[in-house]
Amino acid sequence: MLNRLRGAMQRVLTPPATALLRLGVSPDAVTIAGTLVVVVTALWAFPTGHLFLGALLIGLFALTDSLDGVMARQSGRSGPWGAFLDSTLDRFGDGAIFAGLVLWFFGRGGDEVTAVLALACLVLGSVVPYARARAEGLGMTASGGIAERADRLLVALVATAAVGLGAPSVVLTVVLGLLAVASAVTVVQRMAKVHRQAVGVTE
């Protein structure tokens, strides 16, 4: 879903990317700074009940995930290191978002069911990219699935913001439950894709 907006996002982010490069800011610095802000915000705002503010700030700073890529292409620095750094730090950001929700609902949020669902999203959200990385390390592919990273984060942040604005917490409960199921299905889809490739190699 969000991948379809990539072209429009690049056009919007090109001017700030150009300005940052002129100031001597590197794409790696933007990647690291964006991740730090997302992690700190998620682990402060969500556990303290600032759900809307946290979702808003995280959504804004998550744009750095695209900004650093635009900067890298403009400066000719695109390469394996940038891709590795970006993917690795994405795991920190994603984990912090769902960990913040786990802390809130196990704490003052007082909803253990939703906390468990957020924990499930945290765990499964780390397995989805691992399945792809492991497959590629073995010379196979395991991309795709019904729950890509960008879609999962968008849905989770929108639901969190809605609850922060006064929507019943059951909204987030349902959304996290659906995300957990979708993530599990994505893992199975990727495992099945790798299995088909592995069988094809051995036959």
From the candidates 68, 86, 90, 94, which is the catalytic residue?
A: 90
Name the one residue in this structure whose structure tokens are 């299995």: 195
Say if residues 68 and 86 touch (Cβ distance below 8 Å): yes
Token pair of 180, please? 């957990």
> Residue 173: which of 115, 94, 99, 100 has the closest Cα?
115
All residues at 6 or more sequence positions from 137 whose CB lies less than 8 Å from its CB, including other chains:
none
Token pair of 81, please? 């290191």
Q: What are phi and psi of 148, to 5 degrees?
A: -75, 160
The yes-or-no answer on residue 65 being catalytic is no
- Catalytic residues, which ones? 90
